[in-house]
Structure formats: structure tokens, C-alpha cells
Chain A
Amino acid sequence: MEQENTTSWWRKAIQSGVIGGIIAILAGLIGMIESFHARDIIAGRISMGETLLLLIVIGFAYSSSRNEQLPISTRVTSGVITGVVTSLMIVLFLMLGAAVNLRSIFVNASPALYKILTLEIANTSLAYIAIIVIGAVVSLAASLVHAATPFWKRIISSGFAIVLLLALLQDLIRISLTPFPFITSVLSWMFGRRGQEGLSILGAIVVFLIVAGAIYNDAKNGAARRARREALPEAAKRTRRWVNWGLLGLFLLIWPQIAGPVLSDVTNSVGLYILMGLGLNIVVGYAGLLDLGYVAFYALGAFTMGVLTTTGGEIFFDVRWTFWEALPFAVIVAVLAGIMLGIPVLKIRGDYLAIITLGFGEIIRIMFLSDFLKPYFGGSFGIVSIASPTIGGIVLDSPQTLYYVILAACFVALFVAHRLRDSRIGRAWKAIREDEDVAQAMGINLTATKLLAFATGAAFGGLSGAIFAAKLSTVYPHSFTLITSINVLALIIVGGMGSLPGVIVGGLLLAGLPELLREFSEYRLLIFGILLIVMMLNKPEGFVPEAVHKREFHEDENLSHAAGG
């Protein structure tokens, strides 16, 4: 065993270097590097494409030096070997590209890609050396992190992560700061010059130092401060909580004014995804019923809204209700569909359930697309001129006003999901998720409990769809493909099954980021796939795992809480 460890560590290091190299080359060949190169992380210095390459090197070097049984020097060596091998692979690829025209097979093996990979150094041998040196230095740094204390590890990982995040989101930050010219001018040194994206070097350093300072402060005074906060009287704690919630509420209320129409529209899409995520989370996260046809309820809500507020396709259904009159019916139609789907699949478990619900989603979409029902639903042309909601004579038809409808819907859904989580039904759902047979033996009526899950989940989906229809004022069957179901499922998995904050984080990450970073949206599915695989391997419980609800020692506080929410 000992023998094997010491003799094969370098083989493993080379292996992961080769894999890292292949992944880096693939990222280039599918055009990701080039497309990401258009955006700067550090203005004028490091692009997002280069960052991706660096992250691949860092990731593989870090994980190849992870084996804790080896002495630290061996681990660092192993990390550096991996990094150098990864760089060598890239160099080999460049040599191959110089000798043969790869472009006839791989469209993306373009001069632009070679230019990025050779770091824009004209002299090829110099470029190759530079690549290997950079690979060695970066992987050395990445492996040395293992030698750092947890405190330093935290500073390094959080520091770089936040710099990266700020750089990625700098559009968002800049746009939301435009109403405050004073702040913008004060912070201008942080960002690249006009027209450039990303942080300035100084900005990146300052952000890093601020994060480091915050972590240092937390390490030094955090425990004491938390203890002091714990020691506060109950009333003061409650006030603090209310103030925090109040500030968050205020921020959410003024957000569309800060964000402007474009960002508000992005926010609205995210909100609708969160709404669907909250619904699917009840079915999949709480009750463990894998539903791949969730988009059906979204479609039903949208088409119900469409039919009821317009003349409905070509003939028939000349109802022309208002948004608010149609809304409850959109939800009811979705709930009925949820129950109708639920009844036949009650006895079906796991994979089979996934397949059947997937089929259900497609059937609903094809139904709306059919020529047979075209007079009612408009076939592939869909339904147009759907009513916008109005409040007291004001028509909420802009992203900045519709935002409030979506915000309210999200709050209702969040409230309901939160209240149900620790109720008799919520526990029954979780019991079914854990072990269906035992749940039934403990007196839980599987039929009723599963149908309630399907119906509640469908209600949120229908609500989301109805608002979606009003938001676009048109609905087409093509908006309701399997991909939507998969996106919603992915955001729950990434956020953390069964976790409400997880749905919000997942929604922001998976629905928000691709909208903000146009480079991402092209590779959306690829990135989702990679993200899901990495999550399953390293953090299967999600980014914000379902919290364990403590009851025994917070009895008094939680009695009212558990009963009320």
C-alpha cells in the first residue's frame, strides 16, 4: 500500500495533467476560449478566456496535490507536474496546429484561438516557453495553498472568488450605480476605462485586500461579536432581525429603479424561474418525486392566461377577462392538471416516474401546437395581445412595473413553501422522499400526500406561467420545451434539494448569470452539465443545503415558529 502510494503519485499527477490539457484544448476547440476572450476580468490584462485556462490549470494542480497521505513536498511536486503537463499539452496542440490545418475539422481552431493560447507572443518558441513557465508557476501557487493554514486558505479562496465575481458582474454593478453619479465617480478607479470591461488592477487588489481584511477581522473578532449578539436580550435580537429584513425589503422595493429596464427584465426572468423552482422544489425536493415535465404546468398557466384575456386564437373563448380575473383560473387549471398527472403515476417510482412526467410535458406542448386545437390556442402562432395586469388604473406592462407582480408572487410562494416545510404535510412529503414504504407503514396516505405535492407544485408553475404570458403578452408552444424543465431542475440541484434559499441562489446563478454574461448563454447547457457533475462529485447536497431544523434546544422560540412557519 505504502509502496504503491509512493511509486504511483507521479503517474497520477501526469494523468491529471493530461486530462487537464485535454479539457483546456476542448474548451478551445468548441470556441469557448475565444468567445470568453471578448470579456476582460482584469481590464486590458486578463480576459475571461485566459481566466478559464488558468482555472483549469489551477483546478487540476490543486486536486492532484490533494492526497493528504503524502508529504507536502511530494504534493507540491505532484501539483507542479500536473500543471506543466497541462501546459505541455497546450504547447503540443499549438505545434500540431502550426503543422496541420486543424480548421478543416474544427471550425474554432482559428488563428484567433492560437493567438490567445500563444499569449499574443509572435516568436513561437518563446511563446511555448512562456506557456510552460506560467503553467509551472500557477500550479506551484495552487499546490502551495495546501500548505497554508485554514485562515490563509480562506483568504485566498474567498479573495479570488470575490474578485472574479465582481469582475464578472461589473456590468450589473455599473448599471445599478448609474443613478448615483457621485458613487460612480468615486469608484471609477476600480473598473477599467470606459469601453473596457472588468476590474482595473488596482481595483482587483483593493477588492482582494478588503476581503482579506474582512476575513481577518472575522477571525479575530467574529467569535466575540457573535457571542455578544447571542447575549443580547430577546427583544433586541428581534429588532435586529426586523431591521435586517426591513432593509432587504426596502432594497427589493427600489431595485427596479436602480436597475433600469434591461436589468429589471433580467430580474423578472430570474423571478419567474425562482417561482417555478419553488414549485418544483416541493415535488422533487420535499417529496422526492422526480418530475421532468414540470414545464407543462408553466405552459398551462400561460395558455390559460392567454385564452381568458384575449379572443383566444381564431374563434371561440371570446372572454377578454382582466389579468387578475384570469389569474386564479390559470392556477386552478394547473392544479387540476397536476392532480390528473398525479393519479396515474401514483404507483410509479424513480426513473419510471421521470420518464412518464417527461412525456407528459411533451404531450402538453404538442397539444398546444396541434392543428386540431389551433382554433383555440393558435397552433405554432400562439396567442397574442395578452392583457397586462393593472393596479388602480396603472397598467403594469413595463419590466420595471411588472417586477412588483413577480416579486409579490415569489413572496407568496416562498411563504407557502416555508410554512409547509415544517408542517404535518411537509414532514409527510419528506418521509415519502426518504422511504415510501416506511412512510406508508407509519400511517401516511400515499395517494393523498403525493397528490397534494403535485397539486401545490403545479400551482406555483401555473402562477409563473400566467405571469410569463402577461410579461411577453404572447405565448407560443415553443417557449415550453423540455429545456425549461431541465433548467428548473438544475437550479434546484445546484441550490440544494429541498432548500428554499437554495432555490433563490440556484435561480440567480443559473437563470441570472447566463442572461448577464452573453458569452455564457451560448455554452449554457455545457456549463450546466459541468456544474452539475462537479456538484454531484464534490457537494451533492447543493450550494445552500437544506437546513437541519433544530427544535430541542430552541423549544420556546421554535414552538411558535414551527407552528406558524
Chain B
Amino acid sequence: MANILTTETVTKRFGGLTAVNTLSIEIPEKSIYSVIGPNGAGKTTFFNCITGFYKPEEGEIVFNGRSILGLSSDQINHRGISRTYQNIRLFSNLTAIENLLVGQHPLMKATLFGPIFGTAATKREEKAALEESLRLLNFIGLAKKGDLLARNLPYGDQRRLEIGRALASKPKMLLLDEPTAGMNPNETEEMTKFIRHLRDELGITILLIEHDMRVVMGISEKITVLDYGEKIAEGTPKDIQGNQRVIEAYLGRGTAGQVNH
């Protein structure tokens, strides 16, 4: 299978701290790929490099055969990468539907004059966008909650809505930053199923950051382990489970319990 995203020796520094250090990974198309590692390992920073929020000091990022290095995050979204955040960042004073409509922004065309004059094209586009939002709402299991403000939704729903918003731009690849953070085992189980369902149903590639090893082992096809910004291991869940360096990395930070499930 072809690789949809490859990074080569990506390096990101904050002053003297190297948050991501010469990281090279290859993500096959339509796979579920996980990046794990203890807190502060540089996982989120790596996401921010891919989505254009940070520009890495060194390295190259190629998506779908073309370099996306140096593009702004809206341009990268247009190329087909969408993301969620470790600490949920919804548009909290907009309704769930409005969040999904904003997600469709890059697919829509209207600017000032279409809406002002109410042209047929704008009306059609708006109608289609609303229908798509309702469909997405159903897909993420939030039917009948579309008119609630995002901030009034329960935590689990907010997580799902954030994924729905990311899906709304019809991305080729979805970046999920700790989607089960703060969830109880039941919700975690449900979210895991949902992520697999996403890939199977929509055929999009998923790059997953996880802290919780159980989640990762269950659904990932391939895993990269980071520690202090560096890749310390790479392979299938089986390879990772037995890897001595990984266990040490987690033990060193006092979270050994999460290694063995």
C-alpha cells in the first residue's frame, strides 16, 4: 500500500529544548497509525508540525506525494488533513450544527455577495451544507442535539462533535490527539469502536496520539513510540509490547501499569 504521509527527519525546537528530534515516519494509506509516548514526549508538537501550526526547523513532510512543509494550517486543511485537539477546542458558543457547518467551510464557495443577494447558488450550497451537517450529526451519534451550544454538551459528545467537525471537510487523513483522554473505560471502549468504524466506513487514514496503551494496542496497525522527541521504537502492537526500551520509557515516568493490559 502507498504511503499517504511521510515525514523525514522532522525536528522542532523550543529554545534549548528539542521537542521533536529527527523524526521520520511513513503512514500507509487507510491505516490506523498511532504515536505513543509518555507525557511531554513531543507527540502534540509533532501534530502541530504536520498541521502547519509550527514550522519545523529541519526535515520534510510529504502528504499525498506533495510537500506540505511551510504551508499555513488552512492550506494544509485544504490538502486534506484535519485534526482534533487533546484539550477539546470546539467553537463553544456556536451550536453543534454550526460547528459542523464551519467544518465544511473549505468545501463551500459563498463569500459576501452570494449571501447578501440570496443567489440561487448560495441557497443551494447552504441547503446542502445543512443537510450534510444533519447527516454528520447522526453519524457521530448526536442526533437531536444539533441545536445545543457546543459548551453545553456532555464531555463525550464534545469529543465526538470535534471529530465530526474534523470530518466535515471530508479529509483524506484525520489526526486525533488523545481522543479518549478523560474518558471512563466504557466511553473509551465506545470511542475505540467509533474510530475503527470511521476508518472502515469512510476509508480515511487515521493518525492517533494516545497515552492509554490499551486503546492503541487494540486498534493500531502500526505504532511509533516517542520519548524525549525521539523515536525509540516502531512496529506492530506485538513488537511494541515486548520492546524493552518502551517499557523502560514508561516505567521511568512511573506509568508502567499502562504497558501491560
Contact = CB atoms under 8 A, between A and B. Distances in A.
Given A430-B94, A437-B73, A559-B126, 5 more contacts: A427-B102, A427-B105, A435-B91, A548-B147, A551-B146
Interface string A410-449: 0000011001100111111011001101111111111000
A286 B169 CA distance: 22
B66 interface: no
Contacts of A420: 112, 115-116
Interface string B9-46: 00000000000000000000000000000000000000
Q: For chain A, what secondary structure do more than half of its interface residues adopt (helix, strand, loop), or is it mixed?
A: helix
A441 B91 contact: no
A440 B169 CA distance: 13
A199 to B, nearest CB: 41
B182 interface: no
A501 interface: no
Contacts, number: 133
A441 B74 contact: yes
A447 to B, nearest CB: 9
A437 B53 contact: yes
Interface in B72-128: 72-74, 77-78, 82-83, 85, 89, 91-95, 97-98, 101-103, 105-106, 108-112, 114-116, 118, 122-127
A411 to B, nearest CB: 13
B112 A425 contact: yes
B134 interface: yes
Q: For chain B, what secondary structure do more than half of its interface residues adopt (helix, strand, loop), or is it mixed?
A: helix
Contact of A441 (B83, B97, B123, B149): B83
B105 A443 contact: yes
A456 B112 contact: yes
A114 B95 CA distance: 56
A472 to B, nearest CB: 30
B253 interface: no
A550 interface: yes
A434 B93 contact: yes
B130 interface: yes
A168 B109 CA distance: 50
A316 interface: no
A563 B126 contact: yes
Interface in B133-175: 133-134, 137, 144, 146-147, 149, 165-166, 169
A564 interface: yes
30 contacts: A415-B116, A420-B112, A420-B115, A423-B110, A424-B115, A424-B129, A425-B115, A427-B98, A427-B101, A427-B102, A427-B105, A430-B91, A437-B73, A437-B89, A439-B91, A440-B72, A440-B73, A442-B77, A442-B82, A442-B103, A443-B105, A444-B105, A452-B111, A548-B149, A549-B95, A550-B95, A550-B147, A552-B147, A555-B134, A562-B127
Q: Identify which of A435, A443, A560 gathers the most chain B CB atoms within 10 Å of its CB.
A: A443
A64 to B, nearest CB: 32
Nearest to A455: B112
Contacts of A443: 74, 77-78, 105-106, 169
A59 interface: no
B205 interface: no
Interface in A506-565: 548-553, 555, 558-560, 562-565
B91 A434 contact: yes
Interface string A208-248: 00000000000000000000000000000000000000000
Interface residues of B, number: 50
B73 to A, nearest CB: 5
Contacts of B92: 434
Contacts of B72: 440
A444 B127 contact: no
B224 interface: no
B116 A419 contact: yes
A438 B115 contact: no
Contacts of A562: 126-127, 130
Contacts of A424: 101, 105, 108-111, 115, 125-126, 129
Nearest to A431: B102
A563 B129 CA distance: 10
A565 B74 contact: no
A430 B103 CA distance: 13
A278 B102 CA distance: 23
Q: Identify which of A416, A456, A548, A558 gathers the most chain B CB atoms within 10 Å of its CB.
A: A548
A229 B238 CA distance: 66
B255 to A, nearest CB: 29
Contacts of B111: 424-425, 452
A562 to B, nearest CB: 6
A457 to B, nearest CB: 12
Contacts of A427: 94, 98, 101-102, 105
